[in-house]
Amino acid sequence: YCSLTYRRVAEPLTKLRHCQRPCEFGGNCIRYHDQKHITNEQHPFNLPCPYTPFSCKMFAKLLQPSNEQNSSPNANEMNEIKRHCYRYSHVCPWGRLCNNQSEEHLSTTIHIAKEMC
């Protein structure tokens, strides 16, 4: 903590983030679209994509590349898709039932409880 924190000077306390406490739900947090929560609490995943879980076309293309030649992503498009998916986290389709425990996967996906159909 800095001396301004101890003196309870209001301006720096509102402008600076002195510490983030860990989110009690960690990688299973369902409040990933609550900007205040994401800013104030620490999560093991990257900033969430604003279009997750259902509207991110890039994540859908990464998970389900098309077999059709005319709609299949080229190398440049695939690099752009991967950059997006490394920068922003997305909801993993398998939720908490996911078996992928790699550091890369856990930092780029959110594992919420889901009813499997």
Q: In this predicted model, what pLDDT tens digit does every residue of 7-31 receive, in sequence order?
A: 555 565 566 655 789 999 999 999 9
Q: Which residue has the tokens 């690099």?
A: 79
Q: What is the model's pLDDT at position 105?
A: 95
Is the pLDDT at 6 greater than 80, yes or no? no
Phi, psi torsion values for 80, nearest 5 degrees:
-65, -40
Q: What is the model's pLDDT at position 72?
A: 62
Report the number of distinct structural domains present in the chain. Answer: 1
Does residue 79 form part of some domain? yes
Check if the beta carbon of residue 26 is closer than 8 Å to that of residue 43: yes
Does residue 19 form part of some domain? no
The rounded distance, in Å, linking the Cα atoms of 3 and 12 is: 10
28 to 7, 61, 83: CA distances (angstroms): 36, 23, 23
Does residue 5 form part of some domain? no
Does residue 117 form part of some domain? no
| Domain region containing 102 | 24-110
Does residue 78 form part of some domain? yes
Does residue 58 form part of some domain? yes
Check if the beta carbon of residue 106 is closer than 8 Å to that of residue 45: yes
More confident of the two residues 91 and 74: 91
The rounded distance, in Å, linking the Cα atoms of 100 and 93 is: 12
| Range with the poorest average pLDDT among 20-34, 57-71, 90-104 | 57-71
Q: Is the pTM of this model over 0.95?
A: no
The rounded distance, in Å, linking the Cα atoms of 91 and 81 is: 16
Does residue 115 form part of some domain? no
